Amino acid sequence: MAEAATVARRPAAVRLPVARIGSALGPGAALLYLCLIVGLPVAALADRAATSHFWAAVTSPQARSALQLTVEMSLATAAINVAAGVLIAWVLVRDDFPGKALLNGVIDLPFALPTIVAGLVLLSLYGPNSPVGVNVAQSRAAVLLALLFVTLPFVVRSVQPVLLALDAEVEEAGTCLGASGWQNFRMLVWPAIRAATLVGAGLAFARALGEFGSIVLISGNITFHTQVASVLISGQVESGDTSGAAAVSIVLLVLALVVLASLDLAVRRLGRRRG
């Protein structure tokens, strides 16, 4: 066996034809494309932010209020998603009821729905002419609602495969041994899905930081009240203040990158502790 393994591995060092044409031309062209499409604009943005009065732009009352609201709303979104996402994932995996398969598919709808339509969809039920008498338009609740809508799939889709792989018999054994439902969850299920939940929540948080389309119509864009960072940036561009907009953008971008990087680190640490 060991012999076969070494033999099988050896030719990997030989360059394959695919790799050979790809070896110079392909990666080079891909790298150039990546730099032109993504790298150059981002560098230009950073340059614009650096040459402006960065601190003044970022610490203006309006910018501070918008950034603070954005972070608070994103934290709330992540927290609610942890509870709702785990619950929905558990019900989709362990429970059975008519229409479950259809419901499972519908979970992805917020990922596929254009964000402006997500905002419109929410306005049609929770807007000024609400048929159920709930009008949240132009309030912070509207911002939260929009964020919860667009981030719904993250925790569900992250936790679901882990729960599927986790044997239901473990929970049944727990019940036989006299554990309550809550004890079962806390001691058997939660340790298994903890890392996946964290990943989902982190991705939802990062997405919420930058969300724009679903918020722009329903939030009413009220300064110091419902104006989040992305809507502020859009307004600044419209009024010609691209330097100010660039400064706020860089803060938003760095925040998202820090969140994603620490998420990566935390998951690796959690994985190591379990393994």
Partner 1 sequence: MGSRLLLRTGALGYLAVLLLGPVVMIAYRTFEHGVAPVWSALSTPTAEHAIYLSVLVTLISLPLNVVFGLVAGVAIARRRMPAGRSVNLLVNLPFAMSPVVIGLALFTLYGRGGWLGDWLSGHGIQVLFALPSLVLATTFVSLPFVVREVVPVLEEIGTDQEQAAATLGASAWTTFWRITLPALRWALAYGVVLTAARALGEFGAVSIVSGNIVGQTQTLPLLVEERFRNFDAVGAYSAGFALALISMFVVAAMTVLSRRKEH
Q: Which of residues 23-52 bind partner 1 (CB under 8 A)?
A: 23, 26-27, 29-31, 33-35, 37-42, 44-45, 47-48
Identity of the residue, 192 or 237, whose beta carbon is nearer to partner 1 in the bound complex: 237
Identity of the residue, 46 or 270, whose beta carbon is nearer to partner 1 in the bound complex: 46
Identity of the residue, 108 or 186, whose beta carbon is nearer to partner 1 in the bound complex: 108
Confirm if 79 and 150 have CB atoms less than 8 A apart. no
Place of tokens 């910018």: 63
3-state class of 206 per DSSP? helix
Identity of the residue, 33 or 224, whose beta carbon is nearer to partner 1 in the bound complex: 33
DSSP 8-state class, residue 15: P
CB atoms within 10 A of CB 189: 20
| Residue list 109-168, contact with partner 1 (CB under 8 A) | 109-110, 112-117, 120-126, 131, 145, 148-149, 152
Shortest Å, Cβ 149 to partner 1: 6
If you count them, how many residues does the chain have? 275
Calpha distance 120→215 (Å, rounded):
10
Shortest Å, Cβ 8 to partner 1: 7
Structure tokens at 259: 């969140």
Shortest Å, Cβ 141 to partner 1: 13
CA 148 from centre of chain: 11
Identity of the residue, 1 or 14, whose beta carbon is nearer to partner 1 in the bound complex: 14
For partner 1, the binding residue among 71, 90, 138, 192 (CB under 8 A) is 90
For partner 1, the binding residue among 69, 189, 217, 227 (CB under 8 A) is 217
Site for partner 1 contains 19 (CB under 8 A) = yes
CA 141 from centre of chain: 19
Site for partner 1 contains 210 (CB under 8 A) = yes
DSSP 8-state class, residue 114: -
For partner 1, the binding residue among 58, 71, 76, 84 (CB under 8 A) is 84
For partner 1, the binding residue among 82, 188, 237, 270 (CB under 8 A) is 237
| H-helix segments, the chain | 2-9, 17-34, 40-51, 54-58, 61-94, 100-106, 109-112, 115-126, 140-165, 168-176, 181-184, 190-210, 213-218, 229-238, 242-274
Site for partner 1 contains 4 (CB under 8 A) = no
Site for partner 1 contains 172 (CB under 8 A) = no
Confirm if 232 and 252 have CB atoms less than 8 A apart. no
Site for partner 1 contains 220 (CB under 8 A) = no
| Residue list 52-81, contact with partner 1 (CB under 8 A) | none
